[in-house]
Amino acid sequence: MEFEMRRKEKYERAEKFVIKIKEVQEEAKAVLEKAQEKMKKYADKKREEVNKYKVGDLVMLSTKDLKYQMVRRRTEKLTERFVGLYKIKKIISSNAVELELSSMIKIHSVVNVSRIQRYIEQVKGQRKEQPALVVIEKEEKWEVEKILNKWQI
């Protein structure tokens, strides 16, 4: 008889332990879900939907990742933040698009939407007219009309 009481007591303690563990797990799950919702809320503030871009839209490319290609520039703070007018060739996914890049920019044509910005047409007369590119030996280059000034060292 003493043997059966000990056994029954062990089972009750084990059942209480299992119930306590389940309660702790449910509480932890609820806290994790709340933290995920909070993180998603703040992460979504910076995200942009790719739906606002369509095939054929004109966009400008960020120079943030083009540092090695802009070596000849005097200072980083005076370089343009965005360059070019590029057409969107294809929408790859919700956060990546393929651009029609010129041969002068030697990067992959698929870029993240965080690296592009929609081009907004400027007021008439405000836009700088750029001369057409001249193709020399299968490379696009600018034709120089005249040298305005030069550095003397």
pLDDT per residue rounded down to tens, the chain (153 residues): 455 555 666 688 888 999 999 999 999 999 999 999 999 999 888 776 556 788 999 999 888 877 666 566 667 677 778 888 899 999 998 789 999 988 777 788 899 888 898 888 877 766 666 666 666 666 666 677 788 887 776
Residue 116 burial class via C-beta count within 10 angstroms: exposed 0-12, middle 13-18, buried 19 and up: buried
36/42 Cα distance (integer angstroms): 10
Fold of 51-122: SH3 type barrels. (2.30.30)
Task: Give Cβ neighbours of residue 104 (< 8 Å, ≥ 6 apart).
Answer: 139, 140
DSSP letter at 127? S
127-133: list long-range contacts, CB under 8 Å, 24+ apart. Answer: 133/102
Query: What is the domain partition of the chain in residue ranges?
Result: 1-46, 51-122
Residues 138, 143, 77, 109: what is their CA dihedral angle, to the nearest 10 degrees?
-30
β-pair partners for 133: 142
pTM: predicted TM-score of the whole model, two decimal places: 0.49
Give the number of other CB atoms < 10 A from CB of residue 146. Answer: 4
